[in-house]
Amino acid sequence: MTWSLALTLAERLSLIATAAFIISRTPALGRILSRQLTIRDKLLLIVVLGGLGILGTYAAVPIHGALANSRVVGVMVAGLLGGPLVGAGAGLIAGVHRYLLGGFTAFSCALAAVAEGTLGGLVQHYYRRGSVPWHVALVAGLTGEVLQMGIILLTARPFSEAWALVQIIGLPMIIVNSIGVAIFMVIVKTAAEQRERIAACQAQQALRIATQTLPFLRHGLNRESAEQTARIIYNSVKLAAVAITNEREILAHVGTGSDHHHPGNPILTSATLQTLATGEVQLAQTKGEIGCQEKRCRLGSAVVVPLKRRDVTIGTLKLYHDRESSITPVDLELARGLAHLFSTQLELAELEYQARLRSQAELKALQAQVHPHFLFNALNTIVSLVRTRPDKARELLIKLASFFRYSLRKDDAPIPLAEELAHVEAYLAIEGTRFGNKLQVVQLVDPAALTCPVPAFTLQPVVENAIKHGLQPKRQGGRIKIIAKDQPEEVVVTIEDNGVGIFPKELDKILLPGYGRGHGLGLFIVNERLKGLYGPEYALQVHSIPGQGTKVLLRFPKETSSQGVKEDALYSCCG
């Protein structure tokens, strides 16, 4: 009876595999395994896995007035995935249901369901090395079922019947259900790993394309840059056609349909016009949804994504297949990723256009312009992470986009110190990943100082200078410390490094234009801006000891109206 019961229970594990597959397909899977669940995710797990526990009860085998079942699998997995509260919640749902069915083990089984769900949650809580692996889940399942048998013996009456029942169902349920818990976790984790591999490949492909297109999109969105970009995508991805438009006309079309989608022609497809009008991604899975006005057009499906500059749609990127219903989720995510990167590159192109309108010296200092090497170093850093740490690569892409968006500011209106520090943090996040343990960052900021108005692009050049000239020459790297102190009349920001320091004979020249190993403009124009905005008493203060490090003090008055801040003070430092 024991082994035939085990075989019967094992046959019913198909419910477990089905539930595991369903959960593995949910968008919340990544959050579940990374332990970043929302309230909605937790409620979803409680309901779904509590329901799985109920199904395990209905799939049970009646034995002497009790049920040999797989209820534990759902509630134990709930705890292993969501923590103690989720496990207890799923156990409560399955346990109350079992109690209502009656029988001399009704209370015992209900109590065991809650206890086992909580046990799974405690295992998840104390296992600190990521998602719970299958062998730990197996041991947790074994422990949980042994616990259930103990609860039955302690609480079910008469004891003689409880003992007889445990002798029959104990070993089969302990073995089969613990294996079921392990199988569930294997299926879920395998699906997550597969999803991460796909995401890593997509990110790597998008970054490779973005790197190849960078030299062209730096010149802005025009026919030549669009043609080169579309051809690079077409040669890199298996597609029927690739097209790029601005808000009025086709700029490039490579592949199927190029006989009538000519550059310079007005936009022909309704899906493209809809994207331009709404700024939203359009998925067209049929020729009718594409809406090409040429009846002989062989393009069957498409994804159209907006290209934006500062949240304004300036064009579209279109990926086509020649068969209907051929756009896959991979195509959709690739298109979104490329559009995001291209939008960032186009914002950089606008930035370079602004640089040509103003003097190179002013732009580099006043908008904290980044040398192209920084962009290439950042992209190389991200590429190195896409396979091993895709979540970190995506985080750095967001930081990079945020950093360059901030650099597009055109005016010199004061901003809160909190915004300027956020810009510095985005820069340090990218540099910190590139330098690893060689760059340590410490921030000590008075909360009251965060609202103080400061001119944009004043802190990042100082931080960059500290890294490039203070810490980078040291083989072991060093530490950057950013301190913001709130004082009655002003806020004092100190940027310290424990780098190589500056010799006294150089210290007197450090704020002169053109002095130093770089362009010699960063500290000079930050200093001139502060003096031009607030007066000579607010000039930079630089203190340094060779071999020990450098400290730069910036002072920002809380009230600036009396200082007579001029509208053109942003440009006055260079005459």
245 has a pLDDT exceeding 80: yes
* Same domain (yes/no): 176, 236: no
Rounded average pLDDT over 425-447: 87
Rounded average pLDDT over 63-72: 70
Give domain status of residue 399, yes or no: no
Question: Where in the sequence is the domain holding 323, given as residue range(s)?
Answer: 218-357
- Report pLDDT for 11: 59
* Same domain (yes/no): 160, 99: yes
Residue where a domain terminates, one of 140, 166, 196: 196
Q: What is the mean pLDDT of the chain?
A: 82
Residue where a domain terminates, one of 136, 162, 196: 196
Rounded average pLDDT over 490-498: 95
Confidence band for 552, pLDDT divided at 50, 70 and 90: very high
Domain count, the chain: 3
DSSP track, 313-357: EEEEEEEEESSTT---HHHHHHHHHHHHHHHHHHHHHHHHHHHHH
Rounded average pLDDT over 161-178: 86
User: What number of other Cβ atoms are within 10 A of residue 117's Cβ?
Assistant: 36
The two tokens of residue 359 are 């003097």
Rounded average pLDDT over 360-379: 55
Greater confidence (10 vs 551) lies with: 551
With a CB cutoff of 8 Å and minimum separation 6, the contacts of 308 are 279, 314, 339, 343
* Same domain (yes/no): 134, 222: no
- Report pLDDT for 400: 77
Residue where a domain terminates, one of 145, 162, 196: 196
- Report pLDDT for 551: 95
Give domain status of residue 388, yes or no: no
Give domain status of residue 321, yes or no: yes
List helix spans (H) across 269-328: 270-278, 287-290
* Same domain (yes/no): 185, 264: no
HSE on the CB side for 208, CA within 13 Å? 13
**Residues 273-322: pLDDT tens digits?**
999 999 999 999 998 888 888 888 899 999 999 999 878 899 999 999 99
- Going from the C-alpha of 135 to that of each of 21, 33, 97, 142, 180, the distances in angstroms are 19, 16, 30, 11, 12
110 has a pLDDT exceeding 80: yes
Give domain status of residue 207, yes or no: no
Domain CATH code at residue 453? 3.30.565.10
Q: State the Cα–Cα distance between residues 470 and 440, nearest whole angstrom.
A: 13
User: SS3 breakdown of the chain: % helix, strand, coil, rounded to 5?
Assistant: 60, 15, 25
Confidence band for 573, pLDDT divided at 50, 70 and 90: very low
Domain CATH code at residue 321? 3.30.450.40
* Same domain (yes/no): 69, 114: yes
Q: Are the beta carbons of 284 and 302 closer than 8 angstroms?
A: yes
* Same domain (yes/no): 336, 441: no
**Residues 176-229: pLDDT tens digits?**
888 888 888 888 888 777 777 777 777 787 778 888 888 888 778 889 999 999
Domain CATH code at residue 147? 1.10.1760.20
Between 74-88, 101-115, 131-145, 514-528, the lowest mean confidence (pLDDT) is in 514-528
- Going from the C-alpha of 35 to that of each of 45, 134, 466, the distances in angstroms are 13, 17, 37
* Same domain (yes/no): 9, 154: yes
Give domain status of residue 87, yes or no: yes
* Same domain (yes/no): 525, 440: yes
* Same domain (yes/no): 179, 240: no
Give domain status of residue 251, yes or no: yes
- Report pLDDT for 65: 58
* Same domain (yes/no): 185, 239: no
- Report pLDDT for 5: 55
HSE on the CB side for 175, CA within 13 Å? 13
**Model's pTM, two decimal places?**
0.44
1 has a pLDDT exceeding 60: no
* Same domain (yes/no): 105, 46: yes
469 DSSP assignment: I
- Report pLDDT for 63: 67
* Same domain (yes/no): 285, 329: yes
Among 10, 15, 130, 28, smallest CA distance to 80 is for 130
Q: State the Cα–Cα distance between residues 527 and 302, nearest whole angstrom.
A: 53
Give domain status of residue 395, yes or no: no
Rounded average pLDDT over 87-96: 94
Share of the chain above pLDDT 90, in %: 34
Confidence band for 9, pLDDT divided at 50, 70 and 90: low
Q: Are the beta carbons of 319 and 331 closer than 8 angstroms?
A: yes
**Residues 342-363: pLDDT tens digits?**
888 888 777 766 545 443 444 4
Give domain status of residue 528, yes or no: yes
Greater confidence (157 vs 376) lies with: 157
Rounded average pLDDT over 119-133: 86
116 has a pLDDT exceeding 50: yes
Confidence band for 568, pLDDT divided at 50, 70 and 90: very low
